[in-house]
Amino acid sequence: MAVGVFDSGLGGLTVLDAVAKRLPEVPFVYYADSSHAPYGVRDAEDIYNLTVDAVHNLWNAGCDLVILACNTASAAALRRMQEGGLPKGKRVLGVFVPLIEALTERQWGDNSPPREVAVQHVALFATPATVRARAFQRELAFRAIGVDVEAQACGGLVDAIEEGDMILAEALVRSHVEALKRKMPEPQAAILGCTHYPLMQEVFQEALGPEVKVYSQANLVASSLADYLQRHPDMYGTGKESRFLTTGDPRKVSVHATQFLKRPLSFESV
> Which backbone phi and psi does 55 adopt, to 5 degrees?
-60, -40
Is 70 catalytic? The answer is yes
**CB–CB of 10/162 below 8 Å?**
yes
With 0-12 CB in 10 A as exposed, 13-18 as middle and 19+ as buried, what is 261?
Answer: middle
Instruction: Report CA torsion sign: 182, 161, 69, 99.
Output: negative
**CB–CB of 267/254 below 8 Å?**
yes
Instruction: Report CA torsion sign: 6, 230, 199, 264.
Output: negative
With 0-12 CB in 10 A as exposed, 13-18 as middle and 19+ as buried, what is 263?
Answer: exposed
For residues 102 and 23, give the distance between their C-alpha atoms in angstroms, rounded to a whole number: 20
Q: At what angle do helices 166-183 and 201-208 cross, to 10 degrees?
A: 40
| Catalytic, out of 20, 63, 154, 194 | 194
Is 63 catalytic? The answer is no
| Catalytic, out of 55, 70, 77, 158 | 70
For residues 105 and 101, give the distance between their C-alpha atoms in angstroms, rounded to a whole number: 5
3-state secondary structure of 203: helix
Give catalytic residue positions.
70, 194
